[in-house]
Amino acid sequence: MLLHHSTDQPGKTGIEMQGFGVSHVEAWPDASWFCAHKDALIGAGVGWWVIVDIPDEVAAAHQFEAFHFVPADFQLSDVEFFLIPWDIVNMYRPFRYERHDS
């Protein structure tokens, strides 16, 4: 399964050099968020998609029911979220990178 993580240029540089390892979410200090496809709202602005090819069963084990965190007025297209610990996601390097300019 291809999973997508949106980041800025410094985040891409860090991921290229060391893999995932910086959390911006206090509640999950050792994992990063991914979605099942490139959602325009998640990848808003100029930045990069980090694309990870991960086995389906590994992704399914880390699927996260996040919709209860999304405000009612915030519309996401049918996004599946995944919260994957760094020691797991970093096993699937090398990652691919695609620029987004939405």
User: In the prediction, which pLDDT does 74 show?
Assistant: 52
Each residue of 44-87: pLDDT tens digit? 778 999 999 999 999 999 987 655 555 555 555 556 889 999 99
Cis previous bond, 94, omega within 30:
yes
Q: Residues 16-40: what's their mean pLDDT?
A: 85
Q: Structural domains in the chain?
A: 2-101 (3.20.170)
Q: How far is CA 90 from CA 15, 29, 32, 73, 95, in A?
A: 9, 15, 11, 34, 9
* Residue that wins the pLDDT comparison between 22 and 20: 20
What pTM, to 2 d.p., does this model score?
0.82
Cα distance between residue 70 and residue 35, in whole Å: 14
φ/ψ of 13, rounded to 5, equals: -60, -45
Quickly tell me which residue has 């970093």 as its tokens: 90
